[in-house]
Structure 1
């Protein structure tokens, strides 16, 4: 992606690139999202306790979902719906000009998180430790990253969220916190 879509940019150049000088923003966002969802699914599928019976009983062309498939499908639908709802949110609050800047900035953030997820996947598969301790550590790190992401969006120099505080509050509650709690309940309950 950095070679073909970003004109052979280094990691530093990619992360420090300005919105006006960037190219292929949407394709970069799509590729980063796919990599992020795949790595997140690989990481948390190890901790999924079971696949719900109503999903396990279904088969698609003779294939059944395993824990990774179930997690990948759930996380993919989650982030796809969240992206669509965020798009509608920006248009509903009449802030559609900032939508492209929003996913430009989100791409850089999720790119860095994908690198951390890659390290986490290597740790789980090649340096196994106590599963409960690892799960607690990763859960704590995910909460910290989630909190940091919301502050990052709120206080970014580009002012990607609307100016009014109640729109910011609406975004954080309805498009950040509640969907994540629903995904958590779906995967781990």
Structure 2
């Protein structure tokens, strides 16, 4: 008999953590941020293959990737050269409540998943502060989230994330592979079509980049 998947220590799913009004306020913040830091489509290191999601960032640092520079954090938008928009107070408050870390997050990656977008299994490991949790917020259409272990090819578990759900990857879970298998189009009315044609899902992922001295 095969061994069942066991959720790693440090994984937390907080269903419905954010109310509808709190979700709307964050979407409004994302819309406002686009004026300074518009969504762009990054590319993979070495191959230059475009990702299926569009991205932008909040905070002092933003996660970027391209063919030449690879995965990294930068203080400015790669296309406009402008610094990233300030982290909304609501996000800072969530970080302080959930991350259990002595200093604030420096970066919040904003991923826009179109109805046909997905994200392969990966580990968030481009930060110095790998002792800090990753706090992830789902807004918009439902998505199937997959969580594995510290090695590729191991057992995984999947769950459906709804708008307003929050996931925390801390402790052992911080070193586990995870990704998005699919989006369920039309399952939310949160994203205004004038700003997000085709709808989809917004994922906000807060991270601490620099290790505390």
Q: Same fold (TM over 0.5)?
A: no
TM-score (norm 2): 0.22
Structure of larger gyration radius: 1
| Bigger strand fraction | 2
TM-score by length of 1: 0.23
**In proportion to residue count, which structure has more helix?**
1
